Amino acid sequence: MTLQYTQGKYKLINESKYIGDKSNIVFRSSWELKMMNWCDKNASVLKWGSEIHPIPYYSSIDNKVRRYFPDFWLLIRNTEGIEQKIIIEVKPYKETLPPTSPKKITKKSQAKYINERITYERNQDKWKAAREFAIKHNMQFKIMTEYELGIKKRGKST
């Protein structure tokens, strides 16, 4: 089974708000597209950009320094009228949690678990660097999942 992702180039509505190459704004998921629409149309967003500035991070997976391009950079005016700089990463909630070992161990389940573990560790390394960068530059770092984006509602366990 092949998963289908919504991908494409975003067409700006408010060009003056965008920081970066206005002709090459790429979204890699419907969630990123939703975030771009929100940034572009929301009056509290003064400036925004997508994957415009790399943050170096140390990868514990391969012991190398790599570059992380967070999904979004925002300058907003909050409800108190104060300007805030925010770095945002859009990720599925599942990827913010450590993966669980498979109940039934097969080659396929083990490979899936290893890939999920690598993704989790890589994300943790990136997000650690992003948090440190944000603190150093008087910014906030936020991870936006399907819950924060309003795609799913948190419900009670059934």
What kind and span of H or E run contains 77? strand 72-77
By C-alpha distance, which of 132, 10, 113 is closest to 71?
10
Residue 71 is among the residues annotated as catalytic for this protein: yes
Average model confidence (pLDDT) across the chain:
93
Among 47, 85, 91, 128, the active-site one is: 91
pLDDT digits 0-9 by tens, 99-157 = 988 888 889 989 999 999 999 999 999 999 999 999 999 999 999 999 999 999 987 54
Among 32, 40, 51, 89, the active-site one is: 32
Give the Cβ contact number of residue 152 at 10 Å. 12
* Mean pLDDT of the 49-77 span: 97
Do the bridges between strand 83-90 and strand 72-77 make them parallel or antiparallel, or are there none, so unpaired? antiparallel
By C-alpha distance, which of 73, 65, 64, 61 is closest to 35?
73
Among 17, 34, 40, 71, the active-site one is: 71
User: In percent, how much of the chain has pLDDT > 70?
Assistant: 95
pLDDT at 3: 47
Task: Flag whether the pTM goes above 0.95.
Answer: no
Q: Which domains occur in the chain, in start order?
A: 8-144 (3.40.1350)
Residue 40 is among the residues annotated as catalytic for this protein: no
pLDDT at 156: 53
* Burial grade of 46 (CB within 10 A; 0-12, 13-18, 19 or more): middle
Residue 91 is among the residues annotated as catalytic for this protein: yes
**For residue 131, what are the contacts with CB-CB under 8 A and spacing of at least 6?**
141
Residue 26: band (very low, low, confident or very high) from pLDDT cuts 50, 70, 90: very high
